Structure 1
Amino acid sequence: MFERWFLLDAGAYELRLHDCSKHTDAKTRTIIAVKNNQPLFYGQEAISCIYQDPLMQIRYPIWEDSVDSMIHSLIENCMNVLQADQSLLKPCIWMAVPNWYDEAYRTKWQHILLDSGIKKVKFITNMDLLQTKEACFLIHAGHSCTEMGIYVNGTCRSYKKIFFAGSRMDEQIKRIVATKTNCLISNEDAMALKKAASDAFWKNQNVRLSCTALDRYQHMQRISISAWNLWPGMEMIEQQIVLWAKQCFKEQPLQMKEALLKNGFLLSGGLAHCFGLRQLLEQAFGCTILHTNMPEYDIINTMKELKG
Protein backbone atom coordinates (compact mmCIF):
# COMPACT_ATOMS: atom_id res chain seq x y z
CA MET A 1 0.00 0.00 0.00
CA PHE A 2 1.22 3.49 -0.91
CA GLU A 3 4.06 1.89 -2.87
CA ARG A 4 5.09 2.40 -6.48
CA TRP A 5 7.07 -0.53 -7.83
CA PHE A 6 9.83 -0.40 -10.43
CA LEU A 7 11.69 -3.29 -12.06
CA LEU A 8 15.46 -2.98 -12.43
CA ASP A 9 17.83 -4.92 -14.67
CA ALA A 10 21.22 -3.31 -14.05
CA GLY A 11 23.40 -4.77 -16.78
CA ALA A 12 27.04 -3.96 -17.34
CA TYR A 13 26.17 -2.73 -20.85
CA GLU A 14 22.76 -1.17 -20.27
CA LEU A 15 20.64 -0.30 -17.25
CA ARG A 16 16.89 -0.88 -17.72
CA LEU A 17 14.07 0.34 -15.49
CA HIS A 18 10.33 -0.32 -15.79
CA ASP A 19 7.50 1.51 -14.00
CA CYS A 20 4.87 -1.10 -13.10
CA SER A 21 2.11 1.43 -12.44
CA LYS A 22 2.42 3.44 -15.68
CA HIS A 23 3.90 0.62 -17.81
CA THR A 24 6.68 2.89 -19.04
CA ASP A 25 10.38 2.19 -19.51
CA ALA A 26 13.67 4.02 -19.20
CA LYS A 27 17.13 2.81 -20.08
CA THR A 28 20.67 4.14 -20.28
CA ARG A 29 24.08 2.84 -21.24
CA THR A 30 26.00 1.89 -18.09
CA ILE A 31 28.80 4.40 -18.56
CA ILE A 32 29.93 7.61 -16.80
CA ALA A 33 32.32 10.38 -17.91
CA VAL A 34 34.41 11.59 -14.96
CA LYS A 35 36.73 14.60 -14.68
CA ASN A 36 38.79 15.41 -11.58
CA ASN A 37 37.01 12.50 -9.89
CA GLN A 38 33.64 14.17 -10.44
CA PRO A 39 30.96 12.53 -12.62
CA LEU A 40 29.87 14.95 -15.35
CA PHE A 41 28.07 13.01 -18.06
CA TYR A 42 26.08 9.78 -18.13
CA GLY A 43 24.97 7.25 -20.70
CA GLN A 44 24.98 8.44 -24.30
CA GLU A 45 26.34 11.86 -23.31
CA ALA A 46 29.32 10.16 -21.69
CA ILE A 47 30.03 8.20 -24.90
CA SER A 48 30.24 11.46 -26.86
CA CYS A 49 33.10 12.57 -24.55
CA ILE A 50 35.44 9.82 -25.78
CA TYR A 51 38.49 11.38 -27.51
CA GLN A 52 37.17 14.89 -26.74
CA ASP A 53 39.02 15.73 -23.52
CA PRO A 54 42.25 13.97 -22.46
CA LEU A 55 41.42 14.73 -18.81
CA MET A 56 38.03 13.05 -19.07
CA GLN A 57 37.90 9.46 -17.85
CA ILE A 58 35.32 6.96 -19.08
CA ARG A 59 34.15 4.59 -16.37
CA TYR A 60 31.99 1.51 -16.51
CA PRO A 61 30.40 1.25 -13.04
CA ILE A 62 29.63 -2.47 -13.43
CA TRP A 63 32.69 -4.41 -14.51
CA GLU A 64 32.93 -8.16 -14.00
CA ASP A 65 32.64 -8.64 -10.21
CA SER A 66 32.85 -4.96 -9.18
CA VAL A 67 30.14 -2.32 -8.73
CA ASP A 68 30.98 1.39 -8.44
CA SER A 69 28.65 3.37 -6.19
CA MET A 70 28.59 6.07 -8.90
CA ILE A 71 25.93 3.98 -10.60
CA HIS A 72 23.35 5.57 -8.33
CA SER A 73 23.52 8.63 -10.61
CA LEU A 74 22.43 6.53 -13.59
CA ILE A 75 19.55 5.07 -11.59
CA GLU A 76 18.46 8.54 -10.46
CA ASN A 77 18.52 9.71 -14.09
CA CYS A 78 16.23 6.86 -15.17
CA MET A 79 13.94 7.49 -12.19
CA ASN A 80 13.68 11.13 -13.27
CA VAL A 81 12.76 10.06 -16.80
CA LEU A 82 9.96 7.97 -15.29
CA GLN A 83 8.94 10.92 -13.09
CA ALA A 84 9.24 8.85 -9.94
CA ASP A 85 9.38 11.93 -7.72
CA GLN A 86 6.06 13.28 -9.01
CA SER A 87 4.02 10.99 -6.82
CA LEU A 88 3.14 10.57 -3.14
CA LEU A 89 3.75 6.84 -3.45
CA LYS A 90 7.00 5.37 -2.09
CA PRO A 91 9.34 4.19 -4.89
CA CYS A 92 10.27 0.51 -4.45
CA ILE A 93 12.49 -1.65 -6.65
CA TRP A 94 12.44 -5.32 -7.58
CA MET A 95 15.91 -6.00 -8.93
CA ALA A 96 17.30 -8.91 -10.96
CA VAL A 97 20.80 -9.94 -9.91
CA PRO A 98 23.28 -12.65 -10.93
CA ASN A 99 23.07 -15.89 -8.95
CA TRP A 100 26.58 -15.43 -7.59
CA TYR A 101 25.69 -12.21 -5.75
CA ASP A 102 26.23 -12.96 -2.07
CA GLU A 103 24.88 -11.02 0.91
CA ALA A 104 27.70 -8.46 0.68
CA TYR A 105 26.86 -7.59 -2.94
CA ARG A 106 23.14 -7.36 -2.19
CA THR A 107 23.80 -5.12 0.80
CA LYS A 108 25.94 -2.83 -1.35
CA TRP A 109 23.15 -2.59 -3.91
CA GLN A 110 20.65 -1.83 -1.16
CA HIS A 111 22.79 1.11 -0.03
CA ILE A 112 23.16 2.34 -3.62
CA LEU A 113 19.41 2.20 -4.20
CA LEU A 114 18.61 3.84 -0.87
CA ASP A 115 20.98 6.66 -1.83
CA SER A 116 18.96 6.98 -5.03
CA GLY A 117 15.76 7.60 -3.06
CA ILE A 118 14.36 4.05 -3.11
CA LYS A 119 12.42 3.06 0.02
CA LYS A 120 12.25 -0.73 -0.37
CA VAL A 121 14.34 -3.26 -2.32
CA LYS A 122 13.67 -6.91 -3.24
CA PHE A 123 15.96 -9.19 -5.24
CA ILE A 124 15.45 -12.10 -7.61
CA THR A 125 18.19 -13.98 -9.45
CA ASN A 126 18.54 -14.19 -13.22
CA MET A 127 18.38 -17.98 -13.13
CA ASP A 128 15.18 -17.96 -11.04
CA LEU A 129 13.61 -15.69 -13.65
CA LEU A 130 14.65 -17.69 -16.70
CA GLN A 131 14.18 -21.31 -15.59
CA THR A 132 11.20 -23.36 -16.69
CA LYS A 133 9.31 -26.18 -14.93
CA GLU A 134 10.93 -28.77 -17.17
CA ALA A 135 14.61 -29.69 -17.07
CA CYS A 136 16.44 -26.74 -18.63
CA PHE A 137 19.97 -25.63 -19.41
CA LEU A 138 20.19 -21.83 -19.17
CA ILE A 139 23.08 -19.86 -20.67
CA HIS A 140 22.87 -16.13 -19.98
CA ALA A 141 25.73 -14.50 -21.89
CA GLY A 142 25.93 -10.85 -20.95
CA HIS A 143 28.47 -8.08 -21.24
CA SER A 144 30.55 -8.62 -18.10
CA CYS A 145 29.98 -12.30 -17.35
CA THR A 146 28.22 -15.44 -18.52
CA GLU A 147 26.02 -17.43 -16.16
CA MET A 148 24.98 -20.98 -16.92
CA GLY A 149 22.87 -23.35 -14.91
CA ILE A 150 20.93 -26.60 -15.12
CA TYR A 151 17.60 -26.64 -13.29
CA VAL A 152 14.84 -29.17 -12.66
CA ASN A 153 11.62 -28.22 -10.86
CA GLY A 154 13.32 -25.22 -9.29
CA THR A 155 16.32 -27.21 -8.09
CA CYS A 156 19.79 -26.21 -9.29
CA ARG A 157 21.79 -29.22 -10.52
CA SER A 158 24.79 -27.21 -11.76
CA TYR A 159 25.80 -23.56 -11.92
CA LYS A 160 28.86 -21.75 -13.22
CA LYS A 161 29.89 -18.11 -13.55
CA ILE A 162 32.61 -17.18 -16.02
CA PHE A 163 33.99 -13.85 -17.16
CA PHE A 164 34.14 -14.93 -20.81
CA ALA A 165 31.51 -12.52 -22.12
CA GLY A 166 31.00 -9.41 -24.24
CA SER A 167 33.60 -7.22 -22.53
CA ARG A 168 36.30 -9.90 -22.88
CA MET A 169 35.46 -10.13 -26.57
CA ASP A 170 35.88 -6.36 -26.85
CA GLU A 171 39.32 -6.67 -25.25
CA GLN A 172 40.30 -9.27 -27.84
CA ILE A 173 39.13 -6.98 -30.64
CA LYS A 174 41.18 -4.09 -29.20
CA ARG A 175 44.23 -6.35 -29.10
CA ILE A 176 43.74 -7.46 -32.72
CA VAL A 177 43.29 -3.86 -33.91
CA ALA A 178 46.45 -2.78 -32.05
CA THR A 179 48.43 -5.62 -33.64
CA LYS A 180 47.13 -4.97 -37.16
CA THR A 181 47.19 -1.15 -37.18
CA ASN A 182 49.53 -0.04 -34.34
CA CYS A 183 46.64 2.05 -33.04
CA LEU A 184 44.50 1.94 -29.92
CA ILE A 185 40.71 2.05 -29.93
CA SER A 186 38.21 2.65 -27.14
CA ASN A 187 35.91 0.05 -25.61
CA GLU A 188 33.01 1.72 -27.40
CA ASP A 189 34.70 1.42 -30.79
CA ALA A 190 35.51 -2.22 -30.05
CA MET A 191 31.83 -2.85 -29.30
CA ALA A 192 30.83 -1.14 -32.55
CA LEU A 193 33.33 -3.22 -34.55
CA LYS A 194 32.07 -6.40 -32.87
CA LYS A 195 28.48 -5.64 -33.81
CA ALA A 196 29.37 -4.64 -37.39
CA ALA A 197 31.48 -7.78 -37.88
CA SER A 198 28.73 -9.98 -36.42
CA ASP A 199 26.11 -8.39 -38.68
CA ALA A 200 28.35 -9.01 -41.70
CA PHE A 201 28.94 -12.65 -40.74
CA TRP A 202 25.18 -13.26 -40.39
CA LYS A 203 24.92 -12.13 -44.03
CA ASN A 204 27.86 -14.36 -44.99
CA GLN A 205 29.91 -11.28 -45.88
CA ASN A 206 33.42 -10.05 -45.11
CA VAL A 207 33.45 -6.26 -45.10
CA ARG A 208 35.96 -3.52 -44.32
CA LEU A 209 35.23 -1.79 -41.04
CA SER A 210 36.52 1.58 -39.89
CA CYS A 211 36.61 3.63 -36.71
CA THR A 212 38.56 6.37 -34.94
CA ALA A 213 41.78 5.38 -33.18
CA LEU A 214 44.82 6.87 -31.48
CA ASP A 215 48.22 6.25 -33.03
CA ARG A 216 51.49 5.97 -31.09
CA TYR A 217 51.83 9.77 -31.08
CA GLN A 218 48.34 10.17 -29.54
CA HIS A 219 46.98 11.57 -32.79
CA MET A 220 43.48 10.64 -33.88
CA GLN A 221 43.07 8.93 -37.21
CA ARG A 222 40.69 6.65 -39.08
CA ILE A 223 41.73 3.03 -39.28
CA SER A 224 40.31 0.23 -41.41
CA ILE A 225 40.25 -3.49 -40.73
CA SER A 226 38.61 -6.53 -42.26
CA ALA A 227 35.74 -8.09 -40.34
CA TRP A 228 37.36 -11.48 -40.86
CA ASN A 229 40.46 -10.29 -38.98
CA LEU A 230 38.30 -9.87 -35.88
CA TRP A 231 36.79 -13.36 -36.01
CA PRO A 232 39.60 -15.18 -34.09
CA GLY A 233 39.07 -12.91 -31.08
CA MET A 234 35.30 -13.35 -31.20
CA GLU A 235 35.50 -17.12 -31.67
CA MET A 236 37.97 -17.55 -28.80
CA ILE A 237 35.47 -16.14 -26.25
CA GLU A 238 32.59 -18.12 -27.72
CA GLN A 239 34.61 -21.33 -27.61
CA GLN A 240 35.34 -20.72 -23.93
CA ILE A 241 31.61 -20.41 -23.23
CA VAL A 242 30.97 -23.66 -25.08
CA LEU A 243 33.82 -25.36 -23.18
CA TRP A 244 32.33 -24.41 -19.80
CA ALA A 245 28.85 -25.42 -20.98
CA LYS A 246 30.27 -28.85 -21.81
CA GLN A 247 31.67 -29.07 -18.28
CA CYS A 248 28.24 -28.29 -16.80
CA PHE A 249 26.60 -30.85 -19.04
CA LYS A 250 29.24 -33.52 -18.38
CA GLU A 251 28.44 -33.51 -14.65
CA GLN A 252 24.84 -34.67 -15.26
CA PRO A 253 23.55 -38.28 -15.21
CA LEU A 254 22.51 -39.84 -18.52
CA GLN A 255 18.77 -39.43 -17.98
CA MET A 256 19.22 -35.72 -17.24
CA LYS A 257 21.38 -35.24 -20.33
CA GLU A 258 18.70 -36.82 -22.52
CA ALA A 259 16.01 -34.54 -21.05
CA LEU A 260 18.13 -31.42 -21.56
CA LEU A 261 18.92 -32.30 -25.18
CA LYS A 262 15.25 -33.02 -25.86
CA ASN A 263 14.10 -29.70 -24.40
CA GLY A 264 16.88 -27.65 -25.97
CA PHE A 265 19.11 -25.04 -24.31
CA LEU A 266 17.95 -21.48 -23.64
CA LEU A 267 20.44 -18.79 -24.70
CA SER A 268 19.82 -15.25 -23.43
CA GLY A 269 21.74 -12.01 -22.85
CA GLY A 270 23.22 -9.51 -25.28
CA LEU A 271 25.95 -11.86 -26.53
CA ALA A 272 23.25 -14.22 -27.82
CA HIS A 273 23.01 -11.84 -30.81
CA CYS A 274 26.66 -12.36 -31.70
CA PHE A 275 27.40 -14.55 -34.69
CA GLY A 276 28.97 -17.89 -33.84
CA LEU A 277 27.84 -18.60 -30.27
CA ARG A 278 24.54 -20.17 -31.25
CA GLN A 279 26.15 -22.19 -34.04
CA LEU A 280 29.02 -23.44 -31.86
CA LEU A 281 26.60 -24.57 -29.15
CA GLU A 282 24.46 -26.39 -31.73
CA GLN A 283 27.54 -28.13 -33.14
CA ALA A 284 28.83 -29.11 -29.69
CA PHE A 285 25.58 -30.53 -28.32
CA GLY A 286 23.51 -31.40 -31.40
CA CYS A 287 20.34 -29.87 -29.94
CA THR A 288 18.11 -26.85 -30.47
CA ILE A 289 19.36 -23.56 -29.02
CA LEU A 290 16.28 -21.57 -28.03
CA HIS A 291 16.37 -17.79 -27.98
CA THR A 292 14.06 -14.81 -28.29
CA ASN A 293 14.31 -12.05 -30.89
CA MET A 294 15.66 -9.63 -28.28
CA PRO A 295 17.62 -11.79 -25.82
CA GLU A 296 19.18 -8.77 -24.10
CA TYR A 297 15.70 -7.92 -22.76
CA ASP A 298 14.79 -11.44 -21.57
CA ILE A 299 15.39 -10.55 -17.91
CA ILE A 300 13.33 -7.35 -17.77
CA ASN A 301 10.58 -8.79 -19.99
CA THR A 302 10.23 -11.87 -17.76
CA MET A 303 10.02 -9.60 -14.72
CA LYS A 304 7.20 -7.67 -16.40
CA GLU A 305 5.30 -10.91 -17.04
CA LEU A 306 5.67 -12.05 -13.43
CA LYS A 307 4.68 -8.68 -12.03
CA GLY A 308 1.63 -8.63 -14.28
Structure 2
Amino acid sequence: MIFAAPDAHGVRAPLKISRRVSPPRTPRVARRVIVASLGALTLLFAALAPSMARADCDPAGRDVANRLMTYTGQLGERNPLRLVLRPSSGGKLEGRYANASSLGDTYLTGKLENKSRLHLTEFDAGGMPRATFDGEFAANDDVNRQRGASSSCEIISGQWKDLRNGRSVPFELALASIQSGKIDHLYDVAGVSDDETLNRAATQFRKGVLDDRRDVVAQLIRYPLHVTLHGKTLMLRNPKSLLARYNEIFTDGYVRTIGAAVPRLMFARDQGVMLGDGAVWFDASGRVIALNRS
Protein backbone atom coordinates (compact mmCIF):
# COMPACT_ATOMS: atom_id res chain seq x y z
CA MET A 1 0.00 0.00 0.00
CA ILE A 2 1.34 3.41 -0.94
CA PHE A 3 0.32 6.60 0.83
CA ALA A 4 0.71 10.26 -0.06
CA ALA A 5 -0.44 13.43 1.63
CA PRO A 6 -3.63 14.67 -0.14
CA ASP A 7 -5.12 18.13 0.14
CA ALA A 8 -6.15 19.13 3.65
CA HIS A 9 -9.85 18.69 4.41
CA GLY A 10 -10.42 18.56 8.14
CA VAL A 11 -7.79 18.03 10.79
CA ARG A 12 -9.97 16.77 13.60
CA ALA A 13 -11.85 13.96 11.87
CA PRO A 14 -10.94 10.35 12.78
CA LEU A 15 -9.21 8.28 10.11
CA LYS A 16 -10.13 5.40 7.90
CA ILE A 17 -7.47 3.30 6.22
CA SER A 18 -7.93 0.96 3.28
CA ARG A 19 -7.82 -2.74 4.17
CA ARG A 20 -8.35 -2.01 7.87
CA VAL A 21 -11.36 -1.44 10.10
CA SER A 22 -11.86 2.18 11.16
CA PRO A 23 -14.31 4.27 13.19
CA PRO A 24 -17.55 5.34 11.45
CA ARG A 25 -18.28 8.78 10.01
CA THR A 26 -14.67 9.13 9.03
CA PRO A 27 -13.09 10.53 5.86
CA ARG A 28 -11.08 7.98 3.87
CA VAL A 29 -7.30 8.06 3.87
CA ALA A 30 -7.54 6.53 0.44
CA ARG A 31 -5.24 4.03 -1.08
CA ARG A 32 -5.64 5.91 -4.35
CA VAL A 33 -4.12 9.17 -3.10
CA ILE A 34 -0.81 8.39 -4.76
CA VAL A 35 -2.13 6.93 -8.01
CA ALA A 36 -1.20 10.01 -10.01
CA SER A 37 2.34 9.95 -8.71
CA LEU A 38 2.55 6.18 -8.95
CA GLY A 39 2.42 6.36 -12.72
CA ALA A 40 5.48 8.59 -12.59
CA LEU A 41 7.36 6.83 -9.78
CA THR A 42 7.02 3.68 -7.75
CA LEU A 43 9.93 2.42 -5.71
CA LEU A 44 11.32 -0.50 -4.02
CA PHE A 45 10.44 -3.94 -2.65
CA ALA A 46 10.99 -7.69 -2.71
CA ALA A 47 14.20 -9.65 -2.80
CA LEU A 48 15.82 -9.65 -6.19
CA ALA A 49 16.58 -12.94 -7.90
CA PRO A 50 19.86 -12.94 -9.82
CA SER A 51 18.00 -13.51 -13.10
CA MET A 52 15.80 -10.46 -12.63
CA ALA A 53 16.22 -7.70 -15.17
CA ARG A 54 17.81 -4.47 -14.05
CA ALA A 55 15.55 -1.41 -14.22
CA ASP A 56 16.48 2.17 -14.98
CA CYS A 57 15.29 4.58 -12.31
CA ASP A 58 15.92 8.30 -12.02
CA PRO A 59 13.77 9.82 -9.23
CA ALA A 60 15.22 13.28 -9.80
CA GLY A 61 14.00 13.20 -13.39
CA ARG A 62 10.46 12.07 -12.58
CA ASP A 63 9.02 15.21 -11.07
CA VAL A 64 9.74 14.12 -7.48
CA ALA A 65 12.94 16.08 -6.89
CA ASN A 66 13.04 17.37 -3.32
CA ARG A 67 9.97 15.37 -2.32
CA LEU A 68 10.19 12.78 0.43
CA MET A 69 9.97 9.10 -0.43
CA THR A 70 9.56 6.63 2.40
CA TYR A 71 10.42 2.97 1.98
CA THR A 72 9.69 0.07 4.31
CA GLY A 73 11.08 -3.43 4.49
CA GLN A 74 13.69 -5.53 6.23
CA LEU A 75 17.35 -5.29 7.14
CA GLY A 76 18.33 -8.91 7.52
CA GLU A 77 15.63 -11.43 8.30
CA ARG A 78 13.88 -9.89 11.31
CA ASN A 79 14.77 -6.23 11.48
CA PRO A 80 11.98 -3.92 10.21
CA LEU A 81 13.43 -0.84 8.50
CA ARG A 82 12.12 2.55 7.39
CA LEU A 83 14.13 4.74 5.05
CA VAL A 84 13.26 8.28 3.92
CA LEU A 85 15.03 9.68 0.87
CA ARG A 86 14.98 13.09 -0.76
CA PRO A 87 16.42 13.07 -4.31
CA SER A 88 17.79 16.19 -5.90
CA SER A 89 19.37 17.14 -9.20
CA GLY A 90 22.42 15.28 -10.42
CA GLY A 91 21.39 12.02 -8.75
CA LYS A 92 22.21 13.29 -5.26
CA LEU A 93 20.33 11.72 -2.35
CA GLU A 94 19.76 12.72 1.26
CA GLY A 95 18.15 10.35 3.70
CA ARG A 96 17.41 9.07 7.17
CA TYR A 97 16.66 5.56 8.37
CA ALA A 98 15.55 3.80 11.54
CA ASN A 99 14.56 0.34 12.72
CA ALA A 100 12.08 -0.72 15.38
CA SER A 101 14.62 -0.44 18.21
CA SER A 102 16.24 2.83 17.10
CA LEU A 103 16.46 5.61 19.65
CA GLY A 104 17.16 8.10 16.87
CA ASP A 105 17.32 8.45 13.09
CA THR A 106 20.55 7.81 11.22
CA TYR A 107 21.50 10.41 8.62
CA LEU A 108 22.54 9.32 5.13
CA THR A 109 23.94 10.93 2.00
CA GLY A 110 24.55 9.35 -1.34
CA LYS A 111 23.81 9.18 -5.01
CA LEU A 112 22.10 7.25 -7.75
CA GLU A 113 24.55 5.89 -10.32
CA ASN A 114 23.66 5.03 -13.93
CA LYS A 115 19.95 5.23 -13.03
CA SER A 116 20.13 1.78 -11.48
CA ARG A 117 22.51 1.61 -8.52
CA LEU A 118 21.89 3.28 -5.19
CA HIS A 119 24.81 4.10 -2.87
CA LEU A 120 24.22 5.64 0.57
CA THR A 121 26.67 6.30 3.41
CA GLU A 122 25.91 6.74 7.10
CA PHE A 123 28.23 8.54 9.50
CA ASP A 124 29.17 8.27 13.15
CA ALA A 125 29.00 11.09 15.69
CA GLY A 126 32.42 12.31 14.60
CA GLY A 127 31.37 12.58 10.96
CA MET A 128 33.32 9.52 9.81
CA PRO A 129 31.73 6.97 7.42
CA ARG A 130 30.33 4.11 9.47
CA ALA A 131 28.29 1.97 7.08
CA THR A 132 26.92 1.88 3.56
CA PHE A 133 23.78 0.84 1.72
CA ASP A 134 24.46 -0.47 -1.78
CA GLY A 135 21.48 -1.62 -3.83
CA GLU A 136 20.22 -2.03 -7.35
CA PHE A 137 16.83 -1.31 -8.88
CA ALA A 138 15.32 -4.18 -10.81
CA ALA A 139 12.23 -4.88 -12.87
CA ASN A 140 9.76 -7.38 -11.45
CA ASP A 141 6.89 -7.77 -13.89
CA ASP A 142 4.94 -10.22 -11.74
CA VAL A 143 4.92 -7.83 -8.78
CA ASN A 144 4.10 -4.90 -11.03
CA ARG A 145 1.15 -6.63 -12.64
CA GLN A 146 -0.29 -7.46 -9.23
CA ARG A 147 0.09 -3.87 -8.04
CA GLY A 148 -0.79 -2.19 -11.30
CA ALA A 149 2.51 -0.35 -11.03
CA SER A 150 5.13 0.85 -13.46
CA SER A 151 7.88 -1.67 -14.21
CA SER A 152 10.67 0.85 -13.60
CA CYS A 153 11.71 2.03 -10.14
CA GLU A 154 9.64 -0.72 -8.59
CA ILE A 155 11.99 -2.72 -6.41
CA ILE A 156 15.44 -2.62 -4.91
CA SER A 157 17.57 -5.04 -2.94
CA GLY A 158 21.11 -4.84 -1.74
CA GLN A 159 23.56 -5.00 1.13
CA TRP A 160 24.15 -2.89 4.22
CA LYS A 161 27.81 -3.05 5.22
CA ASP A 162 29.44 -2.09 8.51
CA LEU A 163 32.70 -0.39 7.55
CA ARG A 164 34.21 -1.00 10.98
CA ASN A 165 34.11 -4.80 10.94
CA GLY A 166 33.15 -5.64 7.37
CA ARG A 167 29.88 -7.32 8.37
CA SER A 168 27.30 -7.31 5.57
CA VAL A 169 23.52 -7.74 5.86
CA PRO A 170 20.96 -7.87 3.01
CA PHE A 171 18.11 -5.36 2.85
CA GLU A 172 14.80 -5.35 0.95
CA LEU A 173 12.57 -2.28 0.68
CA ALA A 174 9.28 -1.08 -0.83
CA LEU A 175 7.90 2.38 -1.44
CA ALA A 176 5.34 3.28 1.23
CA SER A 177 4.65 6.97 0.55
CA ILE A 178 5.60 10.09 -1.37
CA GLN A 179 4.98 13.44 0.25
CA SER A 180 6.19 17.00 0.52
CA GLY A 181 7.91 18.38 3.59
CA LYS A 182 11.24 18.61 5.32
CA ILE A 183 13.30 15.52 5.89
CA ASP A 184 14.05 16.65 9.46
CA HIS A 185 10.42 17.57 10.19
CA LEU A 186 8.20 14.90 8.63
CA TYR A 187 5.14 15.52 10.81
CA ASP A 188 4.69 19.23 10.22
CA VAL A 189 1.66 18.62 7.99
CA ALA A 190 -0.09 16.97 10.97
CA GLY A 191 0.48 20.01 13.19
CA VAL A 192 3.30 18.40 15.17
CA SER A 193 5.77 20.97 16.44
CA ASP A 194 8.48 18.47 17.46
CA ASP A 195 8.79 15.15 15.62
CA GLU A 196 10.71 13.57 18.49
CA THR A 197 7.76 14.08 20.85
CA LEU A 198 5.56 12.07 18.50
CA ASN A 199 8.23 9.41 18.04
CA ARG A 200 8.47 8.95 21.81
CA ALA A 201 4.68 8.61 22.11
CA ALA A 202 4.54 6.02 19.31
CA THR A 203 7.45 4.11 20.84
CA GLN A 204 5.78 4.13 24.25
CA PHE A 205 2.47 2.91 22.80
CA ARG A 206 4.13 0.14 20.78
CA LYS A 207 6.16 -1.02 23.78
CA GLY A 208 3.06 -0.93 25.98
CA VAL A 209 1.21 -3.18 23.54
CA LEU A 210 4.11 -5.62 23.20
CA ASP A 211 4.72 -5.77 26.95
CA ASP A 212 0.98 -6.13 27.65
CA ARG A 213 1.03 -2.96 29.75
CA ARG A 214 -2.66 -2.34 29.39
CA ASP A 215 -2.69 0.59 31.77
CA VAL A 216 -0.07 2.38 29.66
CA VAL A 217 -1.92 1.66 26.42
CA ALA A 218 -5.23 2.88 27.84
CA GLN A 219 -3.74 6.18 29.01
CA LEU A 220 -2.24 6.95 25.59
CA ILE A 221 -5.61 6.97 23.80
CA ARG A 222 -7.73 10.04 23.11
CA TYR A 223 -11.34 9.36 24.07
CA PRO A 224 -14.00 8.87 22.88
CA LEU A 225 -12.63 6.35 20.39
CA HIS A 226 -14.69 4.34 17.89
CA VAL A 227 -13.64 0.73 17.30
CA THR A 228 -15.27 -1.88 15.09
CA LEU A 229 -15.55 -5.36 16.58
CA HIS A 230 -17.35 -8.34 15.05
CA GLY A 231 -18.92 -6.11 12.43
CA LYS A 232 -20.31 -3.65 14.96
CA THR A 233 -18.99 -0.24 15.94
CA LEU A 234 -18.64 0.56 19.61
CA MET A 235 -17.55 3.71 21.36
CA LEU A 236 -14.85 3.58 23.99
CA ARG A 237 -15.51 6.54 26.30
CA ASN A 238 -12.67 6.12 28.79
CA PRO A 239 -9.78 3.82 29.80
CA LYS A 240 -12.12 1.56 31.75
CA SER A 241 -14.21 0.82 28.65
CA LEU A 242 -11.07 0.02 26.65
CA LEU A 243 -9.74 -2.35 29.29
CA ALA A 244 -13.08 -4.18 29.37
CA ARG A 245 -12.69 -5.06 25.66
CA TYR A 246 -8.91 -5.16 25.53
CA ASN A 247 -8.52 -8.82 24.54
CA GLU A 248 -11.03 -8.44 21.72
CA ILE A 249 -9.26 -5.39 20.33
CA PHE A 250 -5.63 -6.34 20.82
CA THR A 251 -5.67 -9.81 19.33
CA ASP A 252 -2.46 -11.75 18.77
CA GLY A 253 -2.47 -10.79 15.10
CA TYR A 254 -3.00 -7.10 15.81
CA VAL A 255 -0.21 -7.13 18.40
CA ARG A 256 2.13 -8.71 15.84
CA THR A 257 1.21 -6.02 13.31
CA ILE A 258 2.04 -3.26 15.78
CA GLY A 259 5.25 -5.03 16.76
CA ALA A 260 6.40 -5.14 13.14
CA ALA A 261 6.01 -1.37 12.74
CA VAL A 262 8.83 1.15 13.14
CA PRO A 263 7.74 4.02 15.45
CA ARG A 264 9.94 6.60 13.71
CA LEU A 265 9.99 8.28 10.29
CA MET A 266 6.26 7.65 10.08
CA PHE A 267 3.86 8.80 7.38
CA ALA A 268 2.00 12.01 8.21
CA ARG A 269 -0.92 13.89 6.71
CA ASP A 270 -3.25 16.66 7.85
CA GLN A 271 -5.27 14.30 10.05
CA GLY A 272 -2.50 12.57 11.93
CA VAL A 273 0.59 10.39 11.93
CA MET A 274 0.42 6.73 10.97
CA LEU A 275 2.22 3.81 12.63
CA GLY A 276 2.94 0.94 10.29
CA ASP A 277 0.46 0.29 7.49
CA GLY A 278 -2.28 2.30 9.22
CA ALA A 279 -2.56 0.05 12.27
CA VAL A 280 -2.55 3.05 14.62
CA TRP A 281 -2.96 6.81 14.09
CA PHE A 282 -1.78 9.57 16.43
CA ASP A 283 -2.82 13.19 16.77
CA ALA A 284 -0.35 16.07 17.00
CA SER A 285 0.05 15.59 20.75
CA GLY A 286 0.87 11.88 20.45
CA ARG A 287 -2.53 10.52 21.53
CA VAL A 288 -4.00 7.54 19.67
CA ILE A 289 -7.01 8.59 17.57
CA ALA A 290 -7.62 5.40 15.57
CA LEU A 291 -7.05 1.68 16.01
CA ASN A 292 -7.39 -0.03 12.63
CA ARG A 293 -7.55 -3.77 12.95
CA SER A 294 -7.25 -6.09 9.95
When the two structures are superposed, what TM-score results if normalisation uses the length of structure 1?
0.27
User: RCO greater where, 1 or 2, for CA within 8 Å and sep 6 or more?
Assistant: 2
- TM-score normalised per structure 2: 0.28
| Bigger Rg, structure 1 or 2 | 1
